[in-house]
Structure 1
């Protein structure tokens, strides 16, 4: 019985041994490295491989680049939001400063106007600030920051840079009550500038004024300027008070209804000028100025 041959058929022969192949390929690699290092023969091969693999490099780096750009975008958004918030705060602070500056400029202009009004009047005056309105909602009265400690007394006239505002009606040590000319219980002796017609101007209680007790045929026209007449001995003559706004003449009534609009900022301003008391004129000479009981020679008692 013949012995079976167990050697692999020629089709399955593996060729050289792995050790031989390792030595061959290692030698080939070293040879290629030395030749390329010496003569640069594989430079074009590397360029070709680099060009061929560049899209693969971009595709492989795309997720990392996307994460980096996304993180940078989010960081930029947060930074922009913080800068926007800081700019808004600075804008609000700047707006506050601008508003305060504008308010100070307006107040400075009004103070200059009030001082100019004081210089035009023959009496002394002092500037006061309106603090708040009186408790009575049906009256036109306000409280100012000047009182008896500041030589303020009842009856003194209060004006602004345009005209008459009102009259001091109650005095406290540090505060005073100012009744506006638009109050329904306030009356001012006035005259028409155009023709010198004298009348009495009353407050209507709703922010307007009214000339009362004038005949239907009184020479009063719309647009006439109304100033103080000074006949009461309290108001200085010639202070601007109002402008005639409307004249109603009805034959069924004995008096005309004449509505006026105050010239001064009666219910708008916060700074006013308190005029000093009007000094009474000196009495006429009597002939006894030297203190003697008898009149001088040439003068007789009436």
Structure 2
């Protein structure tokens, strides 16, 4: 008899087992029994505690990726918020710094205007307040352009000054603007006087030495000059009124091989501010009172002829 012909399957009774309905009823009754016993006797409490203790590490490991992702998302969000806040604070800081600088500039300009107003009251002759527009682009000339011209009464040759002293001279006049050549220009010269000693000199512009200065030429080596001596306008040129500050002695070079000293002065009013005063030419100022000439004395009669006549008449 062949082995493969033997029926190895269980008998029909054991192979069939419980039906689905019987299983449903059985497990339903068992569930109700367990729930009732747990409700009355509390049998499942220790079991739940033991199961929770066993499953706690598993739950922690299962929640770890989600917690890490949440923490990373919160960190990145915080970084973005901090970056945006820092950017906003930087913008506000720059704006506040700009407003502060503008306020300081306005305060400085107001102070300059007050000083110019006081100077205008103390300056002899008519003056006009002007403002610097820009510096000329000519590299061989030291000059600036002001906001008033011929229509405002600006005349060529007018002296320009600020609260520190002489700035320069009006050299070109246009209808709405004028060009002012600074004292440090190589073509400018101004007669000055040493306020300490009363010596007179001629100061020439020197744009190269000491980044822009005044050179006193033909100064005798024995001249009484000291460092920081104040130089003022002498008023002998008919352009600048006397007594305006020009500069201070900065360098004195007395050489043995020459009879003249090399002297440079530091201008007191170059590139200090935007507001200046234009003085009318001295020729337009009220004329000085004429000098009263002394009355000529009467001439005495010649003594020689009188004596000769008397001697002639008395001779027999």
Give 2:275's match in structure 1, choosing from 248, 251, 271. 271
Which residue matches 2:115? 113
Q: How many angstroms does 1:121 deviate by? A: 1.6
Q: 2:38 aligns to what?
A: 36
1:144 to 119, 132, 146: 146
Structural RMSD (CA)? 3.0
Structure 2: how far apart are the matches of 1:146 and 1:132?
13
Structure 1, unmatched stretches of 5+, are 288-298
Distance 1:63 1:249 in 2: 88
Instruction: Map 1:7-156 to 2 at 5 A.
Output: 17=18, 23-156=25-158
The match for 2:228 is 223
**3-state secondary structure, aligned to 1:83:** helix
CA distance in 2, matches of 1:7, 1:270: 116
Cα distance, 1:71 vs. partner?
Answer: 2.8
How has the CA–CA distance of structure 1 residues 249 and 5 changed in structure 2, closer, same or farther, with 3 Å as cutoff?
A: closer
For the residue of structure 1 that corresponds to 2:125, the secondary structure is: coil
| Residue aligned with 1:256, SS | strand
Residue 150 of structure 1: CA displacement?
A: 1.3
Give 5+ residue unaligned stretches, structure 2.
1-5, 299-316
Q: Deviations over 1:202-254 (max 9, x none)?
A: 11233110112222211112221111111223322211111111222224323
Distance change >3 Å, CA 205–CA 76, structure 1 → 2: closer
Secondary structure, in 3 states, of the residue corresponding to 1:108? Answer: helix
Aligned pair count reads 285
Residues 138 and 205 in structure 1, CA contact (< 8 A), matched pair in contact too: no
CA distance in structure 2 between the aligned counterparts of 1:88 and 1:96, rounded to whole angstroms: 12
Determine which of 269, 282, 290 is the counterpart of 1:283.
Answer: 290
Once the two structures are TM-superposed, the CA of residue 162 in structure 1 deviates from its matched residue by 0.9
Task: Determine the C-alpha separation between the residues in 2 that align with 1:217 and 1:71.
Answer: 85
- Aligned twin of 1:173: 175
Q: Distance in 1 between matches of 2:199 and 2:35?
A: 124
**SS, match of residue 173 in structure 1:** coil
Deviation of the 1:276 alpha carbon: 3.4
Distance in 2 of aligned mates of 1:85 and 1:238: 56
Deviation of residue 300 (structure 1)? Answer: 6.4
Matched, 1:211 2:216: yes
- Structure 2 SS opposite 1:179: strand
What's the counterpart of residue 294 of structure 1?
Answer: none
> Post-superposition shift, 1:261?
0.9
2-structure distance, mates of 1:229, 1:271: 24
**Secondary structure at the residue paired with 2:260?**
coil
Distance of aligned partners of 1:159 and 1:6 in 2 relative to their CA distance in 1, 3 Å threshold: closer
Other-structure match for 2:189: 187
Q: In proportion to residue count, which structure has more helix?
A: 2
- Are the equivalent residues in 2 in contact too, given 1:248–1:258 (CA < 8 A)? yes
Given that residues 191 and 229 in structure 1 are in contact (C-alpha distance below 8 angstroms), is that contact kept between their aligned partners in structure 2?
A: yes
The answer on whether the counterparts of 1:186 and 1:203 sit within 8 Å (CA) in structure 2 is: yes
Is 1:233 matched up with 2:233?
no
Aligned residues of 1:182 and 1:202 also touching (Cα < 8 A): yes
In structure 2, C-alpha distance between the alignment counterparts of 1:60 and 1:137, rounded to whole Å: 78
Alpha-carbon offset, residue 87 of structure 1: 2.7
> Which is further off, 221-230 or 244-253?
244-253
Between the aligned partners of 1:6 and 1:250, the Cα distance in structure 2 is 137
CA distance in 2, matches of 1:100, 1:89: 16
